[in-house]
A and B are shown apart, each in its own frame.
Chain A
Amino acid sequence: MNTISCLIQADGPAAGLREELERRLRAHHAGHLDGEEAVVSWRLVEPGHMFTAGSPSSSAVITCTMAGPTTRSGREAYMRRICDFWTEVTGCTDHEIVVSITETGGASPKHTEERS
């Protein structure tokens, strides 16, 4: 099952627009991936817990998982569209949106675990 996880600021505009954003995310995902469904989840960050460039954050972080392999152009189109409707719905700027894709069934990200 594909997933879309949205980390948003509890006091930001996206928090009150989740229903519309989720509808758009589902429709976009299905349209881009031949009707595939995605489970959308939300995490609200309370003020004082997240920072961008060392200052209180207004960013949204959207993490999408889908079956790999994906192409660079396909990923770019997929993420570009999310940025477009996210800014349209919320009024935020491109610089307040981070979108990433994680492939399932592909190569795992590299990890470095360290403890002292």
Chain B
Amino acid sequence: MPFYHAVVRPDVLAVGEREALATDITDLHCEITGAPRTFVQVLFTVDDAGRLPSGVDCSYRANIRSGRTPQQTDELTTRLRDATVARTTAAPSAVVIQIQETEASFVMEGGRLLPEPGSPEEEAWKAQDQQVGAA
């Protein structure tokens, strides 16, 4: 976690742009929240069945740890839309973003419960992740 799941219409996001958009999402999430990069997951589902509502080209469900400020959530939403518009053919009005917050102690990743944002445990968690990333 965070887990960003994007459902996109066919042809809106080129196959070659998926990794670039995933990197954009990783960058913006980490810049805004300070979370380690290795925890950012991005999944793309192509809407071949045509289930997206009319007028929607890309629909995100973003599951993040609870405890973020409203300003952080607003910035995530704004920058996620901007990144999506830059990498796809979707207009800003055709990008829908839903953010769902989950308490950290309901998620285990890297073999540990996730720490609460801003807690002393989070600093130790980030330091450990840097060691893993450098290994």
Task: Evaluate contact between B106 and A53: CB separation under 8 angstroms.
Answer: no
Closest to B66 in A: A110
User: A31-58 vs B: 1/0 string, CB under 8 Å?
Assistant: 0000000000000010011111111110
Partner of A80, one of B15, B25, B37, B108: B108
Interface residues of B in 57-106 (CB under 8 A from A): 66, 73, 77, 81, 92-93, 95-102, 105-106
Complex Cα–Cα for A22 and B95 (A): 36
User: A2-26 vs B: 1/0 string, CB under 8 Å?
Assistant: 0000010000000000000000000
Size category of the B interface is: 35 or more
Size category of the A interface is: 35 or more
Residues in chain B near residue A82, CB distance under 8 A: 108
Closest to B74 in A: A114
Q: Is B111 an interface residue, CB under 8 A from the partner?
A: yes
Task: Evaluate contact between A54 and B22: CB separation under 8 angstroms.
Answer: yes
A-B contact pairs, 18 of them (CB 8 A): A7-B43, A49-B18, A51-B18, A51-B19, A52-B41, A54-B19, A54-B26, A54-B40, A76-B108, A83-B111, A94-B111, A95-B38, A95-B109, A99-B107, A99-B108, A101-B107, A109-B101, A116-B92
Residues in chain A near residue B102, CB distance under 8 A: 100, 102, 109
